[in-house]
A = this chain, B = another copy of it.
Amino acid sequence: MKARVIVMLKTGVLDPQGEAIRHALGAMGFDGVEGVRQGKVIELELADSTSEDEITRMCERLLANTVIESYRIET
């Protein structure tokens, strides 16, 4: 089975990479870019027996720093 984990900085945590992209897009002439946040996506190829609980544990223990990041699991 495949699972996708999206890890984003929490709202309120400064995102300099996203800010740099927003600024660059503006400088390149793209109008109307109001905000940009950059995060990570982790695509997992897992044994079919893997439970969503186990994926949650992977996120909590390794994939996300839950102090400053939130994660979303898409299966």
Contact = CB atoms under 8 A, between A and B. Distances in A.
A14 interface: no
How many copies of the shown chain assemble into the complex?
Answer: 2
Interface string A18-59: 100100110010111111111111111111011000100110
Nearest to A49: B32
A65 B10 CA distance: 26
A39 B43 contact: yes
Interface residues of A, number: 33
A42 B39 CA distance: 6
A12 to B, nearest CB: 15
Interface of A: 6, 8, 18, 21, 24-25, 28, 30-47, 49-50, 54, 57-58, 61-63
